Amino acid sequence: MNMNWPGARAGAIVTIDLDALCANYRHLRASAAPAECAAVLKADAYGLGAVAVGVALYDAGCRHFFVAHLDEGIALRPCLNRDAAIFVLHGPAPGTENEFLQNDLVPVLNSIEQIAAWRRLARAQAHPIPAVIQVDSGMSRMGLSDAEVDQLLHDPNLIEGIALQFLMSHLACADMPASRMNQHQLARFRAVRARLPACPVSLANSSGIFLPDHFHFDLVRAGAALYGIAPTQGSVNPMRPVVRLQARIIQTRTIGAGEQVGYASGYIAKEVRQIATIAIGYADGWSRSMSNRGCALVHGIRVPQVGNISMDSITLDVSVLPLDRVAPGQFVDLIWAEHTVDDIAALSGTIGYEVLTNLGPRILRQYVGDGAHPD
Ligand SMILES: *Cc1c(COP(=O)(O)O)cnc(C)c1O
C-alpha cells in the first residue's frame, strides 16, 4: 500500500463521487427549469465537504449557494468566484451585520429585528445592500410571522436601502406529495408575496423540485437530493448515489458456542463464529441504534453486524467467508450503491440527512471524479 495515500492510515473513508454529484445537480436543474437551482452547503455540505462540493458545483454552473452560519459563509467565500452568491440562512446574529458585508455574504433576514439591523447598516452605505427575506408559511421555524409581515407593510421604511434578492419560505412536508401541508404553505406564501414588493421568489427544497412546477418559482434550493438522498417518500429514488463508506478490518478472531461479543454481551454465539472488528463506531456517527442490525459488504458478500456498536469499532460475523479472505487492513463497505444512506437511515430509525451529517471528522473524505463529465 502506498503510505503517501492519506487513506493508508485511515480507519474509515467516505468516498464522494463528484461526477454523480454534478449529474444530480444537472438533473435537478433540468427538472426545475426555468427556475435557477441553488446548492445548499450547510453543515459542511451535509458532511461531504463544502469546499470540494461547492467548487465542483460551481464548475457545473451553479451560482447560488446556501449555508446556515456566518462562519460557514466566511470559510466558503474565498473558494468560489465573486459571481457566486452565498446566502446565510440564519441571518446575522446581532452585531455581526458588518461581517456579512465585508465577506460578500447575503443574509437571509428572518425577523423584524434582523431586518431593522440590516436597514441600519444600509443607511450607512452609499448603495442598497442585498438581502433575502424569509417568511414563515406554516413551518413555525424561521421567517417573518403574518403579524411581522403586516408590520413591514405598515412601515415600508423598514426595507429602504435593502436590495431584496429573493423572498423565500420553506416547505415542511415536500417529501410527502400527498400532504395537504404543501398546498396550505403554497397558498400562504402566494398571499404574502402578493402583498410585498415584487422580487424573485424561492420556496422549494430538493423534495419540492418533485412537486408540481408551480412550486418552483424563480429559485429552488437543493441539498439532500444532490447528495443522493431520495427526495420523495415511497417513490423510486431518481438520484445517483454519491457516497460510499468503507472501514478497515482491525483484527479477526474465532469464537466458540456460548462466547459473547462486545459491551453488555450484546451478542452470544450459538456455534463457532468468525468475528471481524472494524474501525468505525458511534463516535464516527455510526449509530449505536444499529447494534445487531447493520451489515457490511465483504468481497461482494453481505455479512451481519453483531453485538453492540462501540465508540470506535463494530463487530461483523464473517463466518460465511474463508478466513484468509478477511485480512486485517482490508476495507469493508458500509454504505454502497445497493445499501444507501436511506437504507442506513431506515435501519437506525432516522433520515438520510442525519446519517450523512453524523459522519464524523475521523472519517477521511476522499473525492473521485471531477464533475466535468456530462451524463
Ligand atoms: C436545508 C434547507 C434546504 C435544503 O433542503 P433539502 O431537503 O436538503 O434539499 C433548503 N432550504 C432551507 C431553508 C433549508 O434549511
Our answer to whether residue 42 is catalytic in this structure is: yes
Work out which ligand 1 atom sits closest to the CA atom of 231: 7
Grid cell digits, residue 319:
463466518
pLDDT attached to residue 1:
62
Residue 72: closest CA among 117, 121, 108, 36: 108
pLDDT attached to residue 7:
86
Residue 94 DSSP SS3: coil
Residue nearest to atom 12 of ligand 1 (CA): 170
Residue nearest to atom 13 of ligand 1 (CA): 170
Helix axes 146-154, 112-123, angle to 10 degrees: 30
Q: Is there an atom of ligand 1 within 6 Å of 27 CB?
A: no
pLDDT attached to residue 112:
97
Sign of CA dihedral 339, 9, 309, 297: positive
| Cα Rg, the chain, nearest whole Å | 24
Residue nearest to atom 3 of ligand 1 (CA): 205
Strands of the chain (E only): list them. 12-17, 36-40, 64-67, 85-88, 106-109, 129-134, 162-168, 201-202, 219-222, 243-255, 260-261, 267-268, 273-278, 295-298, 301-306, 314-317, 331-335, 364-368
Taking the C-alpha atoms of residue 119 and residue 11, their distance in angstroms, rounded to an integer, is 50
Q: Is there an atom of ligand 1 within 6 Å of 40 CB?
A: yes
Contacts of 212 (CB under 8 A, 6+ apart): none
Residue 135 DSSP SS3: strand
Question: What DSSP element (H or E) covers 206?
Answer: helix 206-209
**128 preceded by cis ω (within 30°)?**
no
Sign of CA dihedral 68, 71, 74, 79: negative
Our answer to whether residue 263 is catalytic in this structure is: yes
pLDDT attached to residue 371:
77
Q: Is there an atom of ligand 1 within 6 Å of 221 CB?
A: yes
User: What's the predicted TM-score (pTM) here?
Assistant: 0.97
Residue 166: closest CA among 96, 106, 92: 106
pLDDT attached to residue 3:
74
Taking the C-alpha atoms of residue 32 and residue 36, their distance in angstroms, rounded to an integer, is 7
pLDDT attached to residue 330:
96
List the catalytic residue out of 25, 42, 267, 282. Answer: 42
**C-alpha of residue 43 to centroid of ligand 1, in Å:** 11
Taking the C-alpha atoms of residue 130 and residue 105, their distance in angstroms, rounded to an integer, is 9
Residues 215, 231 contacting (CB under 8 angstroms):
no
- Tens place of pLDDT for every residue, the chain, 375 residues? 677 888 899 999 999 999 999 999 999 999 999 999 999 999 999 999 999 999 999 999 999 999 999 999 999 999 999 999 999 999 999 999 999 999 999 999 999 999 999 999 999 998 999 999 999 999 999 999 999 999 999 998 999 999 999 999 999 999 999 999 999 999 999 999 999 989 999 999 999 999 999 999 999 999 999 999 999 999 999 999 999 999 999 999 999 999 999 999 999 999 999 999 999 999 999 999 999 999 999 999 999 999 999 999 999 999 999 988 999 999 999 999 999 999 999 999 999 999 999 999 999 999 999 877 655
